[in-house]
Amino acid sequence: MRILARNARPRGRRGEIDLIAVEGDALVFVEVKARREGSTAGPERPVLAVGPRKQLQLRRLAAAWLAERPAGMPYCAEIRFDVVGLRLDAAGRVTEWEYLRGAF
């Protein structure tokens, strides 16, 4: 993957897109969720925190970003939404990760 943008904030929208990348002929919008080891708040796996409401927000943010489409952006035949889940230890190091390609 080639990263095009990090923490992208389209104008006129609340929220941000964690990563925007190109993989082959796919434009990929990536949501990253992290949780501390031993945390009892939230779902069992970080990726499960991206429910229907968050998915809708990400779709709207992606549409707004595409409307602003940066000059020189490569043509992409496919749009995909991926989710990355991270489990962090007390020092903030990644101890576990999960990548859902085409999560929604």
Q: What are the tens digits of pLDDT across the range 69-104?
A: 867 777 899 999 999 999 999 999 999 999 999 999
Residue at 67: amino acid letter: A
Q: What are the tens digits of pLDDT across the range 42-59?
A: 899 999 999 999 999 999
Q: How far apart are CA 9 and CA 6, in angstroms?
A: 9
3-class secondary structure, 11: coil
User: For residue 50, what pLDDT is reported?
Assistant: 97
User: For residue 1, what pLDDT is reported?
Assistant: 93
User: For residue 82, what pLDDT is reported?
Assistant: 98
Record the pTM.
0.90
User: For residue 40, what pLDDT is reported?
Assistant: 83
CB 32 within 8 A of CB 94: no
Q: What are the tens digits of pLDDT across the range 13-44?
A: 999 999 999 999 999 999 999 999 988 888 99
**Top-level class of domain 2-100:** alpha beta
| Domain residue spans of the chain | 2-100
